[in-house]
């Protein structure tokens, strides 16, 4: 499986993502600096990693979403390549318009950092099929701005179309309808605040994240 | 010429920072504070622009492309003519 991880100034989960992908797929992802304008041909997966791109200046993910690499990312997403935005990457995908809604400051104002139980709200998605019907996973969360908002019509549409992929069991940030992760209409772009790439080895405290990358691998 | 862009969260969008500010003010005895909303102010110095309308149109475009996120924010632009240096 051919994959790429986009690296923005201030990304800090890019290597975690690369190590997770390499461990699960056996192939090293290409690390793509944000100033590039092209992505490698024939990709099966592109990851927008977690971190604090541009120091979260202006709005989280706002400046990264206007990077030189983003038009190429949008092109690949439109072609159906799997795209995963984790944490800051989720914020970036919302800012690019690839995913609807926005992520605001956590309702409780605190930075939350803990293992988080999640419901797999759509077990048949491109990102969850390998869990084979399992209903719950635990991924770590670590964010200050994870409070998902969208207008009511958008939320209804997300729920109605099975585009809510993960839901918090114990909402840590005030997200509308306990949403932790959503997909685009085509189902090939996933954004989520929790970190599956930080749960791929029992030494991490759990390896529930493996199934997410395994799902993409099996669909590739 | 200067543009002063004020960006606020839309009405109805939860503003936990504003709530914390209001709570802190009430804690200091300012009981009259019913609520607070926190926004941001961006001051842009514009060069080579002399027409207020075209300056405003450019700043509108800046707001749409980067400065504000229409999902959660609204913006207000003031164009201020700066007196030429003596």
Model ipTM? 0.84
Helix, strand, coil: what percent of chain A each, to 5? 30, 25, 40
Query: In Å, how far is A171's CA from the nearest CA of chain B?
Result: 16
Residues 6+ apart with CB under 8 A from A151: B71
Handedness of CA A105, A109, A111, A112 (dihedral sign): negative
pLDDT in tens, B11-41: 989 898 999 999 999 999 999 999 999 999 9
Q: What is the pLDDT of residue B48?
A: 87
- Shortest distance between the Cα of B63 and any Cα of chain A, in A, equals 12
Residue B86's pLDDT is: 54
Fold of B2-13+39-80: Mth169; Chain: A , (3.30.1280)
**Both ends of chain B: CA-CA distance in Å?**
15
Q: Sketch out chain A's domains with CATH numbers.
A: 3-219 (3.40.50.880)
Looking at the complex, does the CB of residue B36 fall below 8 Å from at least one CB of chain A? no
Q: What is the mean pLDDT of each run of 10 residues along chain A (220 residues)?
A: 97 97 96 97 97 96 97 98 98 98 95 97 97 96 97 97 98 98 98 98 96 95
Residue B76's SS3 state is strand
Scan for tokens 């514009």, then name that residue: B46
Mutation pick from B71, B72, B73, B75 vs chain A, by most beta carbons of A within 10 Å, is: B71
* Chain B residues with beta carbon closer than 8 angstroms to that of A67: none
A119 classed as catalytic: no
CB contact under 8 A, B14 and A104: yes
Sorted by where each begins, the domain ranges of chain B are 2-13+39-80
What does each C-alpha distance from B13 to A38, A56, A139, A156, B8 come to in angstroms?
37, 20, 28, 17, 10
CA distance A47 to A70: 12
> Which two structure tokens, joined as six digits, stand for A105?
């400051």
Is A94 an annotated catalytic residue?
no
Distance, in Å, from the CA atom of B7 to the CA atom of B23, rounded to the nearest integer, reads 22
């Amino acid at each position: 499986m051919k994959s790429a991880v986009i690296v923005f100034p201030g990304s800090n989960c890019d290597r975690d993502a690369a190590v997770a992908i390499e461990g699960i797929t056996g192939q090293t992802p290409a690390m793509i600096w944000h100033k590039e304008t092209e992505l490698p041909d024939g990709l099966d997966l592109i990851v927008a990693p977690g971190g604090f791109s541009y120091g979260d200046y202006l709005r989280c993910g706002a400046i990264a979403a206007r990077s030189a690499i983003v038009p190429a990312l949008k092109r690949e997403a439109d072609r159906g390549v799997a795209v995963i935005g984790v944490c800051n990457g989720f914020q970036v995908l919302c800012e690019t318009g690839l995913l609807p809604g926005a992520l605001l400051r956590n309702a409780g104002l605190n930075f939350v950092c803990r293992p988080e139980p999640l419901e797999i709200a759509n077990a048949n998605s491109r990102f969850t099929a390998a869990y084979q019907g399992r209903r719950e996973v635990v991924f770590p969360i670590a964010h200050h701005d994870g409070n998902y908002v969208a207008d009511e019509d958008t939320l209804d549409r997300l729920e109605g179309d099975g585009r809510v992929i993960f839901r918090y069991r114990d909402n840590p940030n005030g997200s509308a309808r306990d949403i932790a992760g959503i997909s685009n209409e085509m189902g090939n772009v996933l954004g989520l605040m929790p970190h599956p790439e930080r749960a791929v080895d029992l030494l991490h405290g759990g390896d529930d994240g493996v199934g997410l990358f395994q799902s993409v691998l099996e669909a590739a | 010429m200067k543009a002063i862009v004020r960006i606020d969260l839309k009405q109805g969008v939860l503003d936990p920072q504003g709530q914390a500010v209001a709570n802190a003010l009430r804690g200091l005895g300012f009981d009259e504070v019913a609520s607070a909303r926190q926004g941001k102010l961006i001051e842009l110095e514009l060069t080579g622009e002399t027409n207020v309308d075209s300056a405003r149109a450019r700043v509108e475009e800046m707001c749409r492309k980067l400065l504000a996120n229409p999902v959660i924010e609204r913006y207000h632009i003031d164009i201020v003519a700066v007196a030429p240096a003596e």
